[in-house]
Structure 1
Amino acid sequence: MSEMTRWIELEGAVNARDLGGLPTRDGGVTVRGRIFRADNLQGLTPRDVALLVGELKLRHVVDLRSNAEVALEGPGPLTRVPEVRHHHLTLFAEGGRHTDVEADTQPLGIDGDRVLPWAERVPDEELRVTGFYFGYLRDRPSAVIAALRAMALDDGAALVHCAAGKDRTGVLSALALEVAGVTREAIVADYAATGERLELILRRLRASETYRGDLDSRPADDHLPRPRYIEQFFQVLEERFGGVMGWLSRNGWTETDTAAMRARLRD
């Protein structure tokens, strides 16, 4: 990993980066080498594993994929590394046959009145994406909390991932960065940064039968992680719960948890 970039260049994954190096609201910067985010890890090579486990001291993998994805794709090479502990915490909010890759293309599974009662305020496209994101919190709050706690463990680096490293991973990363006090602008920019690798991500996913059916015939632009999606997600939480911390506290997150996350990303 270059000192000049947060991207982690791997042979078997294309959307891996560090949550370090981001500005905080009090003028600080998040610490590098503590929490990473990525796309599917199925294709990691021995060299990738050596980099992650040996050089970057990866000790915790938070896998947000569904049970179907894990069964169809397999658990991945890092599960064979004894130093690495796996936390499989599915968010169960899939819009496609096996995944949530249709979250930004089709309104499948979204009940606008139940998910976003103020739907008339937002464009349909925004409603679809934010509805899926809010669905993670609504349907699997315990998994969201457990994933954040695993990301904050202090006995080595942690990595959170899903299939594309875009939606499920994007939401968990945004929540972690908000807890750590990162500026909203930096959180939005980190979410949108996946767009820089989108073509490579979609190429990888379309090579797998698990994901191809949910992606075929959709132009790449439909899958862009647009800043307004995560901005609207934060607005949902502000209006309904008083913000991210309000939602977290209602679902069992404690001051000790907050201190642990800040200690991991802030020093």
Structure 2
Amino acid sequence: MTRVTANWIDLETLVNLRDLGGTPTTDGGTVAAGRLLRSDNLQSLTDSDIRALLDLGLTDVIDLRSDLEDAQEGPGPLTKVSEVTIHHHSLFKENLTEAQTETQLTEQINELSPEDLIAKEEIIGKALPWTEVVKPTIQVDDESASFYLSYLVDRPDSVLASLRAIAHAPGAALVHCAAGKDRTGTIVALSLRLVGAEPQAVIDDYAASSERIERILDKLARSDTYRDNVRSQTVAAQTTHPETMQLFLEYVDSEYGSVDRLLAGFGWTDEDTAAMRTKLLAES
């Protein structure tokens, strides 16, 4: 069993950026460097950060945040970079009434002036999932794993679209959410298992975010969007424990047979898997 050390990339405004290159597969192969990156929110990138990401070959960003998060945070700097395509695929289920669709609430926020902070907070409170008690669709012994599994059945459309965006990116694909650990960890884990990554290597990668959890939470706490949620929980509750990803992977294998079979039920094909393998695996 190979233990994986995280390939951290340090930029001015990112605290949870790393390259999945070097991840070992069960058949003796590895994931190639510069193909799949993962990180925390890209909202505050500096010009220097953008240049560094472009130097890494970045062409595609898979943004897993909700429309409301995106509206609250505002357009990120990469939206103005022509070399980068942004794919926005929320993993949160639709839990609003027909009259309060996420798109409509986003439009309401965008129409408000900067001074309308109270009104803005009220609108956000209707749709951000952490502003109320939301029970996961699938429940197992680990709360975080329950939410990760629920992403798969609540938003299979976004799961497949995210994976296909990775598989067909002409350059480096970067997956991110807010912290870069939960939603990002789910999509990255699926990507790695699709190409035969060793389960322990997937677990190690997921758990690596815990090495920087205080920096991750400090960054989130500086945002009006995430501050209250971050401060309402202990650091331990927001840490990426290896047991969580182990349970996630074991549940998928026991209930569906494999990641491939799970995704096939949503419309994933052998051709999709082949494209992902071509994208991520280093040539032997």
Scaled by the length of structure 2, the TM-score of the pair is 0.83
Q: Name the counterpart of 1:63.
A: 63
SS of equivalent to 2:61: strand
* 1:245 has 2:270 as partner: no
RMSD: 2.1
Whether the 8 Å CA contact 1:93–1:132 is kept in 2: the answer is: no
Q: Partner amino acid for 1:89?
A: H
Q: Would the alpha carbon gap of residues 207 and 154 (structure 1) be closer, same or farther in structure 2, given more than 3 Å must change?
A: closer
* 1:136 has 2:161 as partner: no
SS of equivalent to 1:27: coil
Q: 1:36 deviation in Å?
A: 0.4
Could you list the structure 1 runs, at least 4 aligned residues long, displaced by more than 3 angstroms after superposition: 93-102
Q: 1:5 deviation in Å?
A: 6.0
> Which stretch of the first structure deviates more once superposed, 37-46 or 219-228?
219-228
Q: Name the counterpart of 2:35.
A: 34
C-alpha distance in 1, partners of 2:94/2:18? 24
* 1:176 has 2:191 as partner: yes
SS of equivalent to 1:115: coil
Larger radius of gyration: 2
* 1:189 has 2:204 as partner: yes
SS of equivalent to 2:189: helix
C-alpha distance in 2, partners of 1:80/1:263? 29
Q: 1:101 deviation in Å?
A: 6.6
Q: Name the counterpart of 1:155.
A: 170
C-alpha distance in 2, partners of 1:62/1:56? 16
Q: Name the counterpart of 1:9.
A: 10
Q: Name the counterpart of 1:166.
A: 181
* 1:49 has 2:74 as partner: no
C-alpha distance in 2, partners of 1:207/1:186? 32
Q: Would the alpha carbon gap of residues 5 and 230 (structure 1) be closer, same or farther in structure 2, given more than 3 Å must change?
A: closer
Q: Partner amino acid for 1:260?
A: A
Q: Deviations over 1:198-226 (max 9, x none)?
A: 11000000001100111114221221111
Whether the 8 Å CA contact 2:179–2:216 is kept in 1: the answer is: yes
SS of equivalent to 1:37: strand
Q: Would the alpha carbon gap of residues 224 and 232 (structure 1) be closer, same or farther in structure 2, given more than 3 Å must change?
A: same
Q: Would the alpha carbon gap of residues 220 and 5 (structure 1) be closer, same or farther in structure 2, given more than 3 Å must change?
A: closer
Q: Name the counterpart of 2:138.
A: 115
SS of equivalent to 1:234: helix
Structure 1 residues without counterparts, runs of 5 or longer: none
Q: Name the counterpart of 1:81.
A: 81
C-alpha distance in 1, partners of 2:198/2:129? 27
Q: Would the alpha carbon gap of residues 24 and 99 (structure 1) be closer, same or farther in structure 2, given more than 3 Å must change?
A: farther
Q: Deviations over 1:148-207 (max 9, x none)?
A: 000112411110100000100000000000011110010000000000111100000000
Q: 1:31 deviation in Å?
A: 0.3
Q: Name the counterpart of 1:21.
A: 22
C-alpha distance in 2, partners of 1:187/1:100? 27
Q: Name the counterpart of 2:118.
A: none
How many matched pairs? 249
C-alpha distance in 2, partners of 1:12/1:228? 29
Whether the 8 Å CA contact 1:101–1:215 is kept in 2: the answer is: no
- What are the equivalent positions in structure 2 for 1:191-206 lying under 5 Å apart? 191-206=206-221
SS of equivalent to 1:62: strand
Scaled by the length of structure 1, the TM-score of the pair is 0.88
C-alpha distance in 2, partners of 1:224/1:19? 20
Q: Would the alpha carbon gap of residues 155 and 189 (structure 1) be closer, same or farther in structure 2, given more than 3 Å must change?
A: same
Q: Partner amino acid for 2:138?
A: V
C-alpha distance in 1, partners of 2:182/2:93? 11
Q: Partner amino acid for 2:278?
A: A
SS of equivalent to 2:197: coil
Q: 1:25 deviation in Å?
A: 0.5
